[in-house]
Structure 1
Amino acid sequence: MNRALIRNGLVAAGLMSIGGVLVFSRAFTNTAINEADPVVMSNFGLLMIMVWGLAYLGAAAVTSNIRWLAAAFALEKLVYVVVWIRWLSDNSLAKLYAEDPFAGVFFSIYGANDLVFMLFFGAIFITQSRSKQN
């Protein structure tokens, strides 16, 4: 995987994490997101998603092999994908959309977004593990 693709993907992941939280939480004022999942999507949890976004942006500046960092990022995304699937199986998106469309959109897409970036980070890990860079 070429360096530009890795850098751009990491920047995209960072901007999605930071921007997504700020937009859909309306800068931490949208309580519907917190109420829909008070453990994972509390304001603290949303802030931690933004911190992960900062980590992705920081990793974008690294020019050497980041395979183990990418593996950690992939694992983090896997956790969110599993939590999202469990949330979808136990909750009603229609009810959430009726309560707050921003929260509905957020819960509709966050896990799919995390799945895409999990696969991206996994691909970085695999391709860099196969290369001779250490």
Structure 2
Amino acid sequence: MKNTITKGFILSGLSNIIAVLILSRFFTNEFIPKYDNVVMSNFGLLMIVVWGFAYISVAKDYSKVKWLVAVFAVEKLIYAIIWILWRLNNDVFPIFDEDIMAGIFYSIYGINDIIFFFFFSYVFIKLSKK
């Protein structure tokens, strides 16, 4: 089970890093910040990449940082809520017309955050029971 959880941390990190770098075209995609210039500014995107490296950095030793795993869960929950609120107030289809990469980004980033919120929460609960 420990090996599976380690892989989950790595997958979470890589999904942050790879998705942001590809969909933002290495921070040159003007349409991602255009539709949410606070959370998804180029600085915000860079911080998502940094979070990805943080997940990977504890992948093998996550059991030693239970409370950091809780922080990861809270961080993912916040991004998931922000995405849900954004989707309730914005139509993603016109974004696809302007830029397919930005459209994909706004369509999926919150789904990733919801999945990994549950993953990090599960790991935290499991560690808390020890």
TM-score by length of 2: 0.96
Look up the match of 1:96. Answer: 95
Equivalent-residue separation in structure 2 for 1:118 and 1:54 (angstroms): 16
Look up the match of 1:75. Answer: 74
What is the total number of aligned residue pairs between the two structures? 130
Alpha-carbon deviation of 1:65? 3.4
- Contact 2:63–2:127 (CA under 8 A) maintained in structure 1: no
Identity of aligned residues (%): 48
Look up the match of 1:10. Answer: 9
Look up the match of 1:23. Answer: 22
Unaligned runs of 5+ in 1: none
Equivalent-residue separation in structure 2 for 1:73 and 1:82 (angstroms): 14
Look up the match of 2:51. Answer: 52
- Contact 1:97–1:105 (CA under 8 A) maintained in structure 2: yes
Task: Please give the secondary structure, in 1, of the residue aligned with 2:28.
Answer: coil
Alpha-carbon deviation of 1:41? 0.3
* Larger mean Cα displacement after TM superposition, 57-66 or 19-28: 57-66
Alpha-carbon deviation of 1:63? 5.7
Unaligned runs of 5+ in 2: none
- Contact 1:13–1:117 (CA under 8 A) maintained in structure 2: yes
Look up the match of 1:40. Answer: 39
Equivalent-residue separation in structure 2 for 1:125 and 1:60 (angstroms): 13
TM-score by length of 1: 0.94
Task: Please give the secondary structure, in 2, of the residue aligned with 1:47.
Answer: helix
Partner AA of 1:79 in structure 2 = I
**1:98-113 residue pairs with structure 2 within 5 A?**
98-113=97-112
- Contact 1:81–1:112 (CA under 8 A) maintained in structure 2: yes
